[in-house]
Structure 1
Amino acid sequence: MSGLGGITPDLVAGLATLSIPSPSEGTWYLGPVPLRGYALSIILGIVVAVWLSERRWVARGGTAGDIQDLAIWGIPFGLVGGRLYHVATDSGRYFGEGNNPVTALYVWRGGLGVWGAIALGAVGVLIGARLKGIRLLPVLDAIAPTVLVAQAIGRWGNWFNQELFGKPTDLPWALEIDPAHRPSGYLDQATFHPTFLYECLWNLAAFAVVVWLDRRLRLGHGRVAALYVMAYTLGRGWIEMLRIDDVELADVGGLRFNVWTSIVLFVLAAAYFAWSSRRRPGREESVHLDGREVGDVRDDVTR
């Protein structure tokens, strides 16, 4: 019997057997040097974000090379902040009976909390911006959308580590997880929601929307950064609900800790966006603390 609209039983059966394989190895060796998929994903995301930020910054009136200088401060601060947030919110993995606290330093095994990375990374950018005579809010507006791209690429590190996946599913895009990486309650399940892929696609779409709104509305005074927070938390909230990895902090009202974090940050970012739009509409006339006009490049030692 022919299928309706070309959909045959064989096609349905074929789709049911489709899935996304996980890599059998997440680490390769170049002689004695280990190349880890997780680390490579993070590094590639950072490189792309710095490149995109540089282009956005110059278009906004900044000087070429500024973002690379700020990255010297922001990246180390962000990595430390991300690791501190992860260890603080999941300390049971590293401290207590049967655990080795030294493993808290093993970043290559995975474990970077995005909010810690953003918070402390912003502190690093603030320090670098002050030293270079740059206003903080314009540079955050230039950088913020590109962080979505960095996060989209960095999420593939979870794929290499076979971690942070979602609930079991038999959808055609389900992710295959090896038994050694499955939670104890799911050993008889083979395929799961690929939350790393969901977040990757969400972040790329959010990047396009935020950049489009920035160009169309000529946003300034931190409102692009606020849009970034709103866009990211909107996606992170529903994706987090799919995940089955253990969380040390107890659920409140049936929601995971990171879901509540997303809700609170979304509300705060939306409130700031509304307040800033009323108080300081438009975009900054200068991105420099000394008041130079946009595009007015000074050829001196402070450049």
Structure 2
Amino acid sequence: MKELFVTETILALIPSPPQGVWHLGPVPIRAYALCIIAGIIVALWIGQKRYAARGGEREIVLDAAIVAVPTGIIGGRLYHVMTDYDKYFCSTCDPVDALKITNGGLGIWGAVVLGTVSVYAYLRFKKIPFAPFADALAPAVVLAQAIGRLGNWFNQELFGAETTVPWGLKIFNRVDELGNYAPVTGHSTGEVLQVVHPTFLYELLWNVLVFGFLILVDRKFTLGHGRVFALYVAGYTLGRTVIESMRTDPATMVFGLRINFIVSIVVFIIAVVVFFLLKRGRETQDEVRGVSLSTSSEPESAEK
């Protein structure tokens, strides 16, 4: 009976994919990159619908994405490299690896900050209010983050401590064609190295919950003026604080704590304060498009 229980428990474990990279001739197809692309596509679809419902032009979302996607990736990579510099700038490291984004390693903080700043600058140049746009895209962004987390599953990264829970994640031994250990680009040998907490999955599920929460709260209370975006930041960082404390992968430590844990707490507090300081209510459709009342009334006055 005991052996049967053990067998059922093992079968219930979550397996990692046997590989995270496929080759189409000489071209590597990386699951990590595909997950990010899928998240972007979903975010654009949802973001366009929400922004149009607020009175904005759907095309603005696509235009902003052209700015946000590359700057977000650059910002995410810069944050990752800065907070994990020992992986790229040590006596045995190859600094060129810092440029290999498809191997994994995008810090969400850098992606959100630089992506947000670039979109703010673009909308300001176009004389379009930023707050309604941010509120419309906030749920879409957190859902895109959830989809992107699947890339960590394919890369066998960002997991927690070893565990015996039924939903534990199997980490396989992956090797390249020469038999060398290659956790990201190699193929599984079928050997299970360890069973761990799938913290990437915990964050994925939390992000989906935040997505649903933002949609429901925005509908019930008709939030505006940047308050949905502030709730997104607060909601994400609340979950990230807990999940970060479960992770065991190497990280930069500050005062004995993981740097992402500290950043999460600080940003959460700021987001909550900002949420209560922002103006209540929702913008009119003219305000969303950046049309002032005086401007919108000028043609009518001229006809009279």
TM range (shorter): 0.7 to 0.9
| Cα distance in 2, alignment partners of residues 255 and 11 from structure 1 | 41
* Alignment of 1:237 onto 2:231: no
- Look up the equivalent residue of 2:211 and give its one-letter code: F
Tell whether the 8 Å contact from 2:170 to 2:192 is kept in structure 1 after alignment. no
| C-alpha distance 131-156 of structure 1, shift in aligned 2 (>3 A) | same
RMSD in angstroms over aligned alpha carbons?
Answer: 2.3
| Cα distance in 2, alignment partners of residues 11 and 199 from structure 1 | 32
Cα deviation digits, residues 195-214 of structure 1 (max 9, x gap): 11111111001100011101
* Alignment of 1:19 onto 2:13: yes
Deviation of the 1:87 alpha carbon: 0.6
Give 1:1-303 correspondences, 5 Å limit: 12-17=5-10, 18-179=12-173, 180=181, 181=183, 190-247=194-251, 249-252=252-255, 254-276=256-278, 280-285=279-284, 286-291=287-292
Unaligned runs of 5+ in 2: 174-180, 185-190, 295-304
- Look up the equivalent residue of 1:289 and give its one-letter code: G
Matching residue of 1:296: none
Tell whether the 8 Å contact from 2:83 to 2:259 is kept in structure 1 after alignment. no
| Cα distance in 2, alignment partners of residues 15 and 148 from structure 1 | 35
The count of aligned residue pairs is 279
Tell whether the 8 Å contact from 2:17 to 2:154 is kept in structure 1 after alignment. yes
| Cα distance in 2, alignment partners of residues 120 and 81 from structure 1 | 5
Deviation of the 1:131 alpha carbon: 3.3
Deviation of the 1:189 alpha carbon: 5.7
After superposing on structure 2, the runs of 4+ consecutive aligned residues of structure 1 that deviate more than 6 Å are: none
Tell whether the 8 Å contact from 2:172 to 2:192 is kept in structure 1 after alignment. no
Cα deviation digits, residues 150-207 of structure 1 (max 9, x gap): 110000111111011111011111100124559xxxx996200011111111100110
Cα deviation digits, residues 61-112 of structure 1 (max 9, x gap): 1012110011011111101100010011111111131211111100000010
Deviation of the 1:39 alpha carbon: 0.5
Tell whether the 8 Å contact from 2:172 to 2:193 is kept in structure 1 after alignment. no
The structure whose residues are more often strand, as a share, is 2
Deviation of the 1:229 alpha carbon: 0.7
Matching residue of 1:4: none
TM-score normalised by structure 1 residue count? 0.87
Deviation of the 1:146 alpha carbon: 0.9
Cα deviation digits, residues 131-151 of structure 1 (max 9, x gap): 333101111111111111111
| Cα distance in 2, alignment partners of residues 36 and 213 from structure 1 | 36
| Cα distance in 2, alignment partners of residues 88 and 38 from structure 1 | 21
| Cα distance in 1, alignment partners of residues 4 and 39 from structure 2 | 37
Deviation of the 1:124 alpha carbon: 1.7
Unaligned runs of 5+ in 1: 1-7, 294-303
- Look up the equivalent residue of 1:287 and give its one-letter code: V
Query: Secondary structure of the residue that 2:253 maps to in structure 1?
Result: coil
The percent identity for this pair of structures is 49
Deviation of the 1:12 alpha carbon: 3.9
| C-alpha distance 10-95 of structure 1, shift in aligned 2 (>3 A) | closer
Query: Secondary structure of the residue that 1:178 maps to in structure 2?
Result: strand
